[in-house]
Structure 1
Amino acid sequence: MKKAISYFIEKAADWLFRRRSSALIVFRTGGALLSMTLIGSWAVSFSYSDAARTLVFGYQSSSTTQLILKIGFVVGILLTALGAVWEYQRYRDEKKRNEKKKTVVIEQRGLVDTSDSPLSEFIKNECTWQVDSLVQEIRERVTENVISRPDLALAKVNNLKMSLAEKTAQLAASDISIAYGGVLPVPFAFYTGYLMDDESRITLHDWDRDIGDWRDLDEIDDGEEFIVEQSSAIGKSVVLAVSVSYPVDRLSIASVFAGLPVHYLSLPTLDRNNHWSKAKQDRLSGEFFEYCKTLLGLGVEHIHLVLASQNSIAFRFGQSYDKRNLPSVSVYQYERHQATRYPWCVHIPHEDGKNVEVIQTKFKQVA
């Protein structure tokens, strides 16, 4: 019973004070006017008496004032009724529209267990239509934050497009939106964005390690741009090392990719919380894309990408990578405590007939 009363009070307060619409403005205006006229029309009286004396105070407004109050009272009733009917009609129409709409929430769980705070529950608090969850779990392949079978994890990521198609098969494209968030190794986050480049209406979210929950990309753009260090050497294969959240390991890059030209893109401020702006992510992904075009113009046919960034940045860079025109790319995983700091990569070829695959660095001849 207490829960029912509490729910009713909460919903009533939400409807009366929090929700915003033109209809509710009319309703609240009418309610305020009605309340003022009712209060103003009262004959205020007060009396006090004891054995010795009697004290009486009273006030009655004039006939003109009463006429104004009556007019205000009628107008208040009309506005309140109009607002209530208008809001009901608007709510009914919105409900019909929302019955057709669906947000598919893609959550990829890898380096951090986010199951106690599913992204779908976070999204449900932000919308009033259907929310359908699509969870990809690769944590069974992760031991002490190190992925043991990246090839099996890649197979799961490869199934994403098919799983998404099953979720949206019966809906019109205009009624579908997609929310994405994950905590994956960088190569898989990049490759997921690469797979999803042709999907419209994707809203990105990221896991905030400080609060242990999901967040929107709702901060303002701080205007930071990449600092470019371009190699003077020329080759068909190059390393592009991008530092966003942490600095890339330059000594390990020189060891693993010995003999290859290395190009560096680095933000002036490297911080794990420097990415909470959608505008900034869009701008940086544009800078990344343009530099890859520059490498293409220099005759580069394959890019070895070393990326130190947050999950949403890696996804966004993958989205921006033009699979039709840019060079093929291999995206490397960094493991600080292993002998080979960049032990494997997700190799994304652009040649017809070749598949995306995981390649172990120790078995790979870097040319």
Structure 2
Amino acid sequence: MKKAISYFIEKAADWFFRKRSPALIVLRVGGSILLATLVGSWALTLVYKDAERSLELGYQSSSTAQLFFTIGFFVGIATIVWGAVWEYQRYRDESKRNAKKKTIVIEQRGLVDTSDSPLGEYVKRNCSWLVDTIVNDIRERIIDNVITRPDLALTKVSNLKISIAEKTSQSAASDITIAYGGVFPVPFSFYTGYLLDDESQITVYDWDRDKTDWRRLDGSDDEEKFMVERPSITGKSVVLAISVSYPVDRQAISSVFTNLPIHYLSLPSLDRNNHWSKEKQDRLSGEFFEYCKMLLGQGVEQIHLILASQNSIAFRFGQAYDKRNLPSISVYQYERQKPVRYPWCLKIPHEIGEGAVIAHTEFMYVA
């Protein structure tokens, strides 16, 4: 019983003092007016006699004009009623809107086990409408942090559009929002963004390794820009190596792509926590797009992308890549312990209608 009373008091206090809406502001103003009227209408007297050790507590009518306080009393009551009715109507309308709304949560599990902290549960804590979850889990294909069957993992990623369509078929587009987060191999994160580039209202999350929990892109923009190193030669096929969180492996790149021009883009500070600003990610993805457009203008037809970045950066770059106008792109996976440190790539063709495929570097002539 005590717990129930305590819970009721806690929720009532939370609703009255912490919740924010114009209607509740009106209600609180009315309560303040009513309280001030009641306090001002009475004068409190307190008498203490030390000899007899007696205490007397009483009240008497204030000499202030009673009419003023009477008017204030009824104004306070009317304002409270107005605020309560307004809040009820607002709550009812919001409930009707939320009944139609739905957030589709896409969580990709691969390099880190996030199953104890599902992204769907994290999103539910911050919204009052329906949340539906799609989980891409490829951990059974990963041994010692090395993905063994990228072709099977690609099948799961490629089916995302179908899964989203199934979950949104009965809803209006304006009622649907998407939340995305994952800890996935870079090629698949990039490809996910590439697939979802035309989906509106995508909120991106990333895994905070320090807190071992999800986090929105809520940091401030440090205004860092890519430093560019251009090769002296050009060609129809080039390597674009981008360093965001870690430096790319230049020696491995030179050994795998022996005859290709290599373009290096890198941030001044390489850090795993340099990506928490949405504004920064939008700006860097814009720089990436413009650089790819510049390569197109130089006659480049194929880009071999090496990307050392956080998951959300890879996803955002995939969103930014223009599948209709930019060259074909292959996104490479880095495996430090492999004899060939870039053992496979995800090839995304330029031609409409062709699907992405996995190509293994050791069996592929890179030129």
User: Following the alignment from structure 2 to structure 1, what is the Cα–Cα distance between the partners of residues 109 and 60?
Assistant: 71
User: Following the alignment from structure 1 to structure 2, what is the Cα–Cα distance between the partners of residues 312 and 255?
Assistant: 28
What corresponds to 1:97 in structure 2? 97
1:333–1:2 distance in 2 versus 1, CA, 3 Å: farther
TM-score between both structures, scaled by the size of structure 2: 0.96
Q: Which letter maps to 1:340?
A: V
Moved more, 70-79 or 276-285: 70-79
1:320–1:51 distance in 2 versus 1, CA, 3 Å: closer
Is structure 2 residue 273 aligned with structure 1 residue 247?
no
SS at match of 1:92: helix
SS at match of 2:259: coil
Q: How much is the aligned-residue C-alpha RMSD, in angstroms?
A: 1.8
State how 1:121-132 maps to structure 2 within 5 Å: 121-132=121-132
State the aligned residue count.
Answer: 367
Q: Which letter maps to 1:104?
A: I
What corresponds to 1:229 in structure 2? 229
What corresponds to 2:292 in structure 1? 292
1:250–1:59 distance in 2 versus 1, CA, 3 Å: same
1:2–1:151 distance in 2 versus 1, CA, 3 Å: farther
What corresponds to 1:165 in structure 2? 165
1:47–1:265 distance in 2 versus 1, CA, 3 Å: same
1:337–1:53 distance in 2 versus 1, CA, 3 Å: closer
State how 1:135-146 maps to structure 2 within 5 Å: 135-146=135-146
User: Following the alignment from structure 2 to structure 1, what is the Cα–Cα distance between the partners of residues 291 and 309?
Assistant: 17
Is structure 2 residue 237 aligned with structure 1 residue 219?
no
TM-score between both structures, scaled by the size of structure 1: 0.96
What corresponds to 1:259 in structure 2? 259
SS at match of 1:23: helix
1:77–1:148 distance in 2 versus 1, CA, 3 Å: same
What corresponds to 1:26 in structure 2? 26
Deviations 1:152-205 (A, max 9, x none): 100100110000100100000000000000000000000000000110110100
What corresponds to 2:45 in structure 1? 45
How much does 1:54 deviate? 7.2
Q: Which letter maps to 1:292?
A: C
Seq. identity, %? 72
Moved more, 304-313 or 38-47: 38-47
How much does 1:216 deviate? 0.7
Structure 1 unaligned residues grouped into runs of 5+: none
SS at match of 2:220: coil
SS at match of 1:336: coil
What corresponds to 1:206 in structure 2? 206
What corresponds to 1:334 in structure 2? 334
How much does 1:71 deviate? 1.8
What corresponds to 1:314 in structure 2? 314
Q: Which letter maps to 1:20?
A: R
Deviations 1:39-98 (A, max 9, x none): 222342334468769786866454443322222211111111111110011000010011
User: Following the alignment from structure 1 to structure 2, what is the Cα–Cα distance between the partners of residues 62 and 335?
Assistant: 83
Deviations 1:327-359 (A, max 9, x none): 000000001111111011101112355321111
Moved more, 227-236 or 164-173: 227-236
Moved more, 163-172 or 61-70: 61-70
1:215–1:55 distance in 2 versus 1, CA, 3 Å: closer
1:4–1:59 distance in 2 versus 1, CA, 3 Å: closer
